[in-house]
Structure 1
């Protein structure tokens, strides 16, 4: 049968008092060191002896010595208590300033276009923080998996999370390569997609995502077909670049390839809007300084980006 061992409530009470008395061989000096009365020290040690079931000190009017039980208790309790104090100091330091390991769960697609420049400037500003990026399409439980925060598109974030915007809203665009359109006519209406090879995306829950379109405010969801199923947008984009088929992806991901003429947008009037990409984290616990620093850094960079995009008046 499996045994369960637990520390009894109050089991550590009196240990600090015992260690101080053992060090000074004096209840009075221990009381002065701990800032309490000799009577309080005596009561704490007596209660500890009662719980243990053995006398720890030999007391006389002139001196204080350790019993054999006290010697054995001291040999084990002193290093253990010092480790507890050291552990408290380490944890306290993490709670006082930005330091330690900041773990982020993110989709692979946002790493090169969004997270790399953001993390680079953050690491420069906060050298005591190590950033770990776990790139995955899976929607993980942040707390259960030990992550401080995550990055996802807004529509996939649970309602009980606190969010910080990383990007403006953007469109989901349908793109194909010039080589693909050399073989196929460009679609003009959503129904035309039924005659095209459409690359599909499998969600982290195992289901195949429908293609979403917007017909003048009327949402359309279509089950499409094609030769390839992927679990992330970069793979779909790469397949579209190779001419395998059409891909529906966030516009920022495809922007560079479109500018270079490697991909062509189609059905643009039907492109739906997405709320954008957000940093998110649980809101029911105290925020550690490392995460608070990253949140503030994100907000500062976002504000600077908005200011740079804002139209400027003509100088007089």
Structure 2
């Protein structure tokens, strides 16, 4: 069908529905005379009258009713499909890739993101555990989650948590055979559960602070891990002291499985931040996830 014929049928359907050239013209945003001319041209090409006009009303002929019954449902179906496609294009969809530590994912990212995923079934979130300071652009992540002081200055950073207090913990069984440490120097005499950093491949030096004094203590022990859940498990099993976020071990402290020590040396790190490149063109899916992360727990 020629395009003008299809447009003319749309005009015919509008007049037939409204049963008035005046109302149809107003709805289509054209003049009444232009509408009348279109209908006359359509009837001329088809060689049959579709509408009966009187001074007071417009009604369909038998041929007009037949065309209306055939064309109207199909046009409505096309309109519905086009609306669905437009809605789909506007609906947030796609994958959002995030790099974070397991504590950040367990304590902050997942509890917040899971609230919105059911409302956006076409969003996919991929969360990768990594303790290194990865290049999120080079490694094709959409955002990273790190403590505020770890975020590069050329990134946009959004705070997503309160400050995170750290804790040094050991099991009661461990302290039955070892004296309680009271200073960073005492830690050098203890078995400590170490953390292997993926970026430098070295062991993490515990960042301790008391008043204005800050020290980095390079601990050692029998066990080395590259993630916190295993470190906590080793501490519970009596294999040494672990330096981990306090909220991650609070249930174990409350149950008596772990005992905190040197609380006056355990600092609070400056909150978790979601960060991403300033030059990034954010997708709707990215915006939904970021907005979820901004919300309080």
Which secondary structure state, in structure 1, belongs to the residue aligned with residue 182 of structure 2?
coil
Which secondary structure state, in structure 2, belongs to the residue aligned with residue 182 of structure 1?
helix
1:265 matched to 2:260? The reply is yes
1:110 matched to 2:104? The reply is yes
Equivalent residue, structure 2, for 1:286:
281
1:154 matched to 2:148? The reply is yes
TM-score (norm 1): 0.63
Cα distance, 1:280 vs. partner?
1.4
1:128 matched to 2:122? The reply is yes
1:70-118 superposed Cα distances (whole Å, 9 cap, x missing partner)? xxxxxxxxxxxxxxxxxxxx9x966x43111122122223333323322
1:299 matched to 2:291? The reply is no
Cα distance, 1:236 vs. partner?
1.4
Task: Please list every run of 5 or more consecutive structure 2 residues that lacks an aligned counterpart in the other structure.
Answer: 5-84
1:277 matched to 2:277? The reply is no
Cα distance, 1:240 vs. partner?
0.7
Instruction: Please show how residues 115-264 of structure 1 align to structure 2 within 5 Å.
Output: 115-205=109-199, 206-264=201-259
Which secondary structure state, in structure 1, belongs to the residue aligned with residue 96 of structure 2?
strand
1: CA distance between counterparts of 2:128 and 2:220?
31
Cα distance, 1:169 vs. partner?
0.6
2: CA distance between counterparts of 1:189 and 1:107?
27
Based on CA coordinates, which of the two structures has the bigger radius of gyration? 2
* Shift in CA distance, 201/216, structure 1 to aligned 2, threshold 3 Å: same
Q: Which segments of structure 1 move beyond 6 Å, counting only runs of 4 or more?
A: none
2: CA distance between counterparts of 1:179 and 1:127?
48
2: CA distance between counterparts of 1:104 and 1:221?
29
Cα distance, 1:189 vs. partner?
2.4
Cα distance, 1:277 vs. partner?
1.4
Task: Please list every run of 5 or more consecutive structure 1 residues that lacks an aligned counterpart in the other structure.
Answer: 1-23, 30-89, 306-316
1: CA distance between counterparts of 2:283 and 2:211?
45
2: CA distance between counterparts of 1:256 and 1:271?
18
1:140-188 superposed Cα distances (whole Å, 9 cap, x missing partner)? 3222232211222223222211122221112221110111111112112
* Shift in CA distance, 214/277, structure 1 to aligned 2, threshold 3 Å: same
1: CA distance between counterparts of 2:281 and 2:175?
53
TM-score (norm 2): 0.66
